[in-house]
Amino acid sequence: MNRVIQWILWFLVFALTQGLLLVLLAWLVPGIQVHSFAAAVLGGVIITLVLGLAWRLIYWSAARLHPILFPLLTFFLTGIVIILAVYLVDLLYPGALEISGLWDAILVALVVTLGMTFLGALFSLQDDRGYDWFVTQPLSRRYNQTPHAAQAGILFLEIDGLAEPVLRSAMDQGWMPTLKRWLEGGTHQIKGWEPDLSSQTSASQAGILLGNNAEIPAFRWYDKQQQKLMVSSKVATARALEQQLSNGHGLLTPDGGSRWNVFSGDAPDCLGTYSKMGARTSRGQQSYFLYFSNPYICPCARRYDRLFTGSQPLHVARRHVAGDACCLYDALCL
């Protein structure tokens, strides 16, 4: 019963808030007209319901294009949905709510979405059921068919510019007791290696992930044959280099994953990998919208930012971060 009452109260607050937002927009924007507060509340409720039903289609459509186009297409489609919602409001309450055009509808969509996100985070961030609904269940449905390998996998973590003496010094000074314990227990070793020229990110990653870093003389250079400037941090450069260097048998084949690298290592599952951005062949290309469309991400990301930027003491900040994140932070950094 308490749960039912909570949801009823939540819905009432939600409807009133959306109505107030529409009244505010009508006061500020000439192209939006609201003729009564009751009409505004009705419009807010219907717009919210229609958007809730349409989000899945919007994300599905937008995620199949380049990530840069995702927010643009999302707002465009949402504006169309708003116009449809206004039409439904007019059927129930003729003349109650008027929106003159697509751009005004997109503005309404933006404000309503911000209101939904804020209220969702305010009411559900500490709600286990809400977390299961928005986070656990979508992940479970998406990855519940993942095959289990007979052997344990390997997580390769690249820390840019970390020299062996610096790593050993950090362990000796007590900054990395977990790694030190692994070394002292004999289960792990540190192997130093000397990079060739050039000793910078793109050349090193190409050697590690693709087994070949030929023709990468610097992070930025001028290619005389192609007569153009090559910059390792540009998507077009990374894509061209991988096509040139890859033999199809990189470090992360046949079923590995690449996360936020310059090159993919020929992994079939890539996310945030420069050489694969915009490609439609990677099964991980569309996963980014599952992250960015999650209403829990903004509040949680702010907490992580406060933790890692040191704006409050570590022992205080860690109390507010989920246990798994603390365990990962302990394992990698402490």
**In a shared domain, residues 255 and 312:** no
Q: Tell me: the pLDDT tens digits for 123-178?
A: 554 455 555 655 566 666 766 666 677 888 888 888 888 889 999 999 999 999 99
**In a shared domain, residues 302 and 195:** no
The answer to whether residue 61 sits within a structural domain is yes
Q: Tell me: the pLDDT tens digits for 227-280?
A: 999 999 899 999 999 999 999 999 999 889 998 899 999 999 888 899 988 766
The answer to whether residue 150 sits within a structural domain is no
Q: How many structural domains is the chain composed of?
A: 3
**In a shared domain, residues 281 and 307:** no
- Which residues lie closer than 8 Å to 275 by C-beta, 6 or more apart? 235, 238, 239, 241, 242, 262, 263, 264
Domain that holds residue 278: 164-285
Element (H, E) at 139: helix 137-143
Task: Say if residue 334's pLDDT is above 70.
Answer: no
**In a shared domain, residues 187 and 108:** no
Q: What is the pLDDT of residue 33?
A: 82
**In a shared domain, residues 73 and 16:** yes
**In a shared domain, residues 125 and 180:** no
**In a shared domain, residues 322 and 273:** no
For tokens 């039912």, the residue is: 4
The answer to whether residue 155 sits within a structural domain is no
The answer to whether residue 147 sits within a structural domain is no
Pull the structure tokens for residue 24. 């505010």
The answer to whether residue 106 sits within a structural domain is yes
Task: Say if residue 221's pLDDT is above 60.
Answer: yes
The answer to whether residue 291 sits within a structural domain is no
Element (H, E) at 97: strand 97-99
Element (H, E) at 170: helix 164-172
Q: How far apart are CA 166 and CA 60, in angstroms?
A: 46
**In a shared domain, residues 198 and 311:** no
Q: How far apart are CA 82 and CA 111, in angstroms?
A: 12
The answer to whether residue 119 sits within a structural domain is yes
**In a shared domain, residues 127 and 168:** no
